[in-house]
């Protein structure tokens, strides 16, 4: 294990190392890794049929380590942390927020936030600034989520956002067994401090929103849908802003959607710009698709999208681009714990899975040459030819009942962003001289671990305005 780690940059996300370990040792289906005395033994799943067993039965639950690391931030009463009937109750409340019709209704607000992003790109182009694209897309993602969660303009892109600042500070203090000792000691104290600040900010926003909310049945956001659930159970929402238990639940779910929604979205958008910048022939095809659907100017695009949001569903090439970026750079691995006696079956044999950290190693499935042709190459066209692969091996958002509730929203946001940027700006990655590199896994844009898998150094870029 120690020797294997030496082959990779110290900050590289471990999914890369474990994926290559599986391939080099021909570990098919699943394999065990003993990390004693540093952590529990781990079981890595590298086959979609094995993975599905942990996602579609009640024999596997969210691992306590996940709740221990993120629970202090998102709380104990949310769709992230709850189980059983309470989880089903809350999931039912929020599912309408992610219906296609509702998500399309959010596109005007996405356009509004993306226009701010375009203004920031124009400013960076004028100054020639090299900036962290992932920082920029994170601020955009947070502003998107603010509109989705509470129909609130957080304005993270244009000034200091106390919500973003407190949230970033809280998540930066999460620690694992591989973290330095000093961070593990201080982690809970610092997370509690920054989470308290975050809670104060969001609680005031939520309380005021509910105080002013008319009981008119018009539900525009996740917080509105929570209120709708409250109305069904209590007959009225008059006292909702004074019900501390309900406010805690609304607060915890708001934080959950911020946590779950910003990382994957920001990384996707960052890598989307990067791969388009180094694949000019494919970029030309994407630009042509956007011209044919929206017209050739930004003004025409905004007008077309605003009047007919369903046009985003006509972007088949852009959708293939998004799927390919997510295939190449999954957000990391999800971990579960088996109940006593739990097993996993592969190739007719049962394997014990009740004393290990059970990890879904999506990267191993995404780079499996038996499933994908030339898996280390950027080739979005593979997703336009579904007969060439099985989507069961595409493990971005999970499967089963606890799959990511916002998966369609993430891709819609990315399509809107692409439509409003890639024809009007040129992007160039600006890496540090003699920077580190992982061939076949993004090269110099490899994924580093900062809570989740993020683009190396935020993927520094320079942007210029295209002369159209």
User: What confidence category does residue 468 fall into, taking pLDDT thresholds of 50, 70 and 90?
Assistant: low
Sequence ranges of the binding site: 404
Q: Classify residue 144 by its DSSP letter.
A: H
Does the pTM exceed 0.85?
A: yes
State the average pLDDT for the chain: 89
- Residue 178: predicted pLDDT: 65
Q: Is the pLDDT of residue 388 over 80?
A: no
Q: Who has greater pLDDT, 268 or 467?
A: 268
Average pLDDT for 366-370: 95
Longest Cα–Cα distance of the chain, Å, equals 64
Q: What percent of the chain has pLDDT over 70?
A: 97
> Per the structure block, which two tokens stand in for 405?
């509730």
> Per the structure block, which two tokens stand in for 40?
């529990």
Q: Is the pLDDT of residue 159 over 80?
A: yes
Average pLDDT for 91-103: 86
User: What confidence category does residue 440 fall into, taking pLDDT thresholds of 50, 70 and 90?
Assistant: very high
- Residue 389: predicted pLDDT: 78
Q: What percent of the chain has pLDDT over 90?
A: 54
Classify residue 127 by burial, with Cβ atoms within 10 Å: 0-12, 13-18, 19+. exposed
- Residue 208 CB neighbours (<10 A): 11
Q: Is the pLDDT of residue 447 over 80?
A: yes
pLDDT in tens, 301-347: 999 999 999 999 999 999 999 999 999 999 888 899 999 999 999 99
Q: Classify residue 237 by its DSSP letter.
A: -
pLDDT in tens, 63-93: 888 877 777 888 877 887 787 888 888 888 8
- Residue 365: predicted pLDDT: 96
- Residue 203: predicted pLDDT: 85
User: What confidence category does residue 220 fall into, taking pLDDT thresholds of 50, 70 and 90?
Assistant: low
Q: Is the pLDDT of residue 451 over 80?
A: no
Asked if the peptide bond before residue 264 counts as cis, ω within 30 degrees of 0, the response is no
User: Residue 94 and residue 206: Cα distance in Å, rounded?
Assistant: 16
Which element (helix H / strand E) includes 32?
A: strand 30-33
User: Residue 274 and residue 285: Cα distance in Å, rounded?
Assistant: 16
- Residue 257: predicted pLDDT: 86
Contact of 118 with 316, CB cutoff 8 Å = no
User: Residue 231 and residue 358: Cα distance in Å, rounded?
Assistant: 39
Which element (helix H / strand E) includes 41?
A: none
Sequence ranges of the binding site for heme: 404
- Residue 374: predicted pLDDT: 95
- Residue 217: predicted pLDDT: 54
Q: Who has greater pLDDT, 322 or 213?
A: 322
Classify residue 68 by burial, with Cβ atoms within 10 Å: 0-12, 13-18, 19+. middle
> Which residues on neighbouring strands pair with residue 132, listed in sequence order?
460
Residue 311's Cβ-side half-sphere holds a number of Cα atoms within 13 Å equal to: 21
Angle of helix 181-212 versus helix 133-150 axis, rounded to 10? 40
Q: Who has greater pLDDT, 213 or 421?
A: 421
The range of the structural domain enclosing residue 267 comes to 2-465
- Residue 165: predicted pLDDT: 84
User: Residue 373 and residue 376: Cα distance in Å, rounded?
Assistant: 9
User: What confidence category does residue 244 fall into, taking pLDDT thresholds of 50, 70 and 90?
Assistant: confident
User: What confidence category does residue 24 fall into, taking pLDDT thresholds of 50, 70 and 90?
Assistant: very high
- Residue 308: predicted pLDDT: 97
Q: Is the pLDDT of residue 219 over 90?
A: no
CATH of residue 268: 1.10.630.10
Q: Is the pLDDT of residue 48 over 70?
A: yes
- Residue 218: predicted pLDDT: 57
> Per the structure block, which two tokens stand in for 394?
């595409």
- Residue 58: predicted pLDDT: 86
- Residue 265: predicted pLDDT: 93
Classify residue 340 by burial, with Cβ atoms within 10 Å: 0-12, 13-18, 19+. exposed
- Residue 315: predicted pLDDT: 98
- Residue 414: predicted pLDDT: 98
Asked if the peptide bond before residue 37 counts as cis, ω within 30 degrees of 0, the response is yes
- Residue 74: predicted pLDDT: 82
- Residue 1: predicted pLDDT: 62
pLDDT in tens, 279-290: 999 999 999 999
Please count the helices (runs of H) and the strands (runs of E) in the chain: 17, 12
Average pLDDT for 172-201: 82
Contact of 48 with 390, CB cutoff 8 Å = yes
């Amino acid at each position: 294990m120690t020797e294997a780690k030496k082959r990779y940059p110290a900050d590289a996300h471990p999914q890369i190392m474990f994926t290559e370990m599986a391939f080099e040792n021909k570990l098919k289906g699943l394999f065990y890794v003993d990390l004693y005395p540093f952590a529990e033994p781990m079981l890595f799943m590298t086959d979609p049929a094995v993975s599905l067993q942990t996602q579609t039965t009640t024999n596997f639950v969210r691992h306590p380590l996940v709740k221990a690391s993120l629970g202090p931030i998102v709380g104990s009463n949310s769709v992230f942390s709850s189980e059983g009937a309470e989880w089903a109750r809350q999931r039912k409340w929020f599912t309408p927020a992610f219906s296609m019709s509702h998500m399309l209704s959010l596109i005007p607000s996405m356009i509004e936030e993306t226009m701010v992003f375009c203004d920031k790109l124009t400013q960076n182009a004028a100054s020639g600034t090299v900036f962290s694209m992932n920082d920029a897309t994170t601020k955009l993602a947070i502003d998107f989520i603010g509109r989705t969660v509470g129909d609130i303009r957080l304005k993270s892109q244009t000034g200091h956002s106390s919500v973003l600042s407190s949230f970033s500070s809280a998540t930066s203090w999460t620690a694992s067994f591989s973290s330095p000792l000093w961070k593990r000691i201080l982690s809970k104290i610092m997370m509690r401090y920054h989470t308290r600040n975050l809670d104060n900010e969001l609680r005031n926003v939520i309380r005021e929103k509910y105080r002013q909310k008319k009981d008119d049945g018009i539900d525009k956001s996740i917080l509105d849908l929570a209120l709708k659930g409250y109305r069904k159970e209590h007959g009225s929402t008059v006292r909702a802003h004074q019900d501390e238990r309900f406010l805690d639940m609304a607060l915890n779910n708001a934080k959950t959607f911020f946590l779950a929604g910003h990382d994957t979205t920001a990384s996707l958008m960052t890598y989307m710009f990067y791969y388009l910048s180094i694949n000019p022939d494919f970029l030309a095809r994407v630009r042509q698709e956007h011209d044919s659907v929206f017209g050739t100017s930004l003004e025409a695009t905004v007008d077309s999208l605003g009047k007919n949001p369903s046009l985003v569903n006509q972007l088949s090439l852009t959708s293939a681009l998004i799927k390919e970026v997510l295939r190449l750079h999954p957000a990391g691995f999800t971990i579960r714990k088996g109940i006593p006696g739990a097993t996993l079956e592969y190739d007719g044999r049962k394997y014990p899975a009740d004393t290990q950290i059970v990890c879904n190693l999506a990267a191993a499935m995404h780079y499996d040459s038996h499933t994908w042709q030339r898996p280390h190459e950027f080739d979005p066209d593979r997703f336009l030819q579904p007969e060439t692969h099985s989507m069961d091996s595409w493990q971005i958002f999970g499967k089963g009942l606890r799959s990511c509730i916002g998966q369609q929203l993430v891709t819609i946001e990315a399509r809107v962003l692409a439509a409003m940027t890639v024809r009007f700006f040129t992007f160039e990655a600006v890496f540090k001289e003699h920077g580190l590199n992982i061939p076949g896994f993004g090269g110099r844009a490899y994924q580093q671990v900062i809570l989740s898998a993020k683009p190396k150094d935020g993927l520094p870029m320079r942007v210029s305005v295209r002369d159209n």
